[in-house]
Chains A and B, each alone.
Chain A
Amino acid sequence: MDWVELINKHESALVLYARQWCASHADAEDAVQEAFLRVWKIYRKDPSKWADKDNEKDMRPYLYRTVKSTALDNIRSRKRRKVREEKAADSLYDEEPAFNAGLEDKERSLMVQKALNSIPEEQKEVLIMKIWGGMTFKAISEALGISLNTAASRYRYGLSALGSLIDGEKP
């Protein structure tokens, strides 16, 4: 498996995915970097175990699960942080752009980001995996441990909610 290609192809969607549990973009990057290393170390120990998963499409559910668990582990380990530090980080975090956008679509991308932060986590997860991760509902259901129908309906509800929020933001 070409790990350079795998990382290059999925890192940006995974960082967006991790952001929902992280206090800053840098923390989301930490979680993704750590998750890739965790998955790599498991893969390296015995690549033959992954023979039936030896392509990037099959690795995706595992990658997303690992990113989520790494981000949640990091939250638990940061609980010692002072509350005011967390609050300061949260207020800054809202202003950190989640998308690479040029001047012409910067406003629109911030609108999408704000709307994305407002929809329920379970819908957001499915939306990110489907739209930016390019995953099928089958792969999403595998990653989240839910049924195909649940994945599809969360996507539909999430997309409708996102659409309404974005339209509501229009000047």
Chain B
Amino acid sequence: MNNEEIEKLEKELAGLKPRGLSAERKTALFSEISQDQAAGKIIPFPSIIALTAAAAALVLAILFAMNNREAGAKTNGHELAQKPEPVREETISAPLPNAPGIDTILVANEDEGIMYLDENTPVRRSRYHVLDRAQWTDPRSGKKHELIRPRNGVVLTSLRVD
């Protein structure tokens, strides 16, 4: 084969698109990686030490503040601060799908071909597979959670008829 033939063949081969992972497999793979990523973010080892130190500092600060308040109450005869309202169950809510702040990752877009809505209305039907990803902090515990939801849907695109 001469160089020209080789270049032509290379071009032709590059134009062929290999069959890859199915949409279901891609969704499962992204989902697993995202969940693993979220889990990994929660407690890396050096953070445990930092968190323990921060918690100890917080406890000391609260004890110090309570001491001061008791001392103040004794001297003034008044309650200086009101007790904080407990967080009620109904105030805790996770973000809803499609709410603002949710990342949507397009996993795959499958062409499902042409269909007819009626005799004169051809449309191209494509199915998309996405992952909705949202981070949510539980107000009771302060812990961060990541919510991942796989979703798919169909989009119909109208085709021009001449």
Contacts and interface: CB of A to CB of B under 8 A. Distances in A.
Interface string A1-35: 00110011001111110000000010001001100
A40 B18 CA distance: 23
Nearest to A162: B9
Nearest to A14: B20
Contacts of B20: 11-12, 14-15
- Highest count of chain A CB atoms <10 Å: which of B1, B19, B33, B36: B19
A99 B20 CA distance: 8
Interface string B93-132: 0000000000001000000000000000000000000000
Interface in A20-59: 25, 29, 32-33, 36-37, 40-41, 44
SS class, residues of chain B in contact with chain A? helix
Contacts, number: 81
Contacts of A156: 6
Chain B interface: which size bin? Answer: 20 to 34
Contact of A16 (B18, B36, B105): B18
B50 interface: no
Given A3-B33, A33-B25, A37-B32, 5 more contacts: A11-B21, A12-B21, A40-B33, A98-B19, A160-B1
Interface of A: 3-4, 7-8, 11-16, 25, 29, 32-33, 36-37, 40-41, 44, 97-101, 105, 109, 112, 127, 131-132, 156, 159-160, 162-164, 166
- Can you list the 5 inter-chain pairs with the closest CB atoms, starting with the nearest? A12-B20, A16-B18, A12-B18, A11-B20, A99-B16
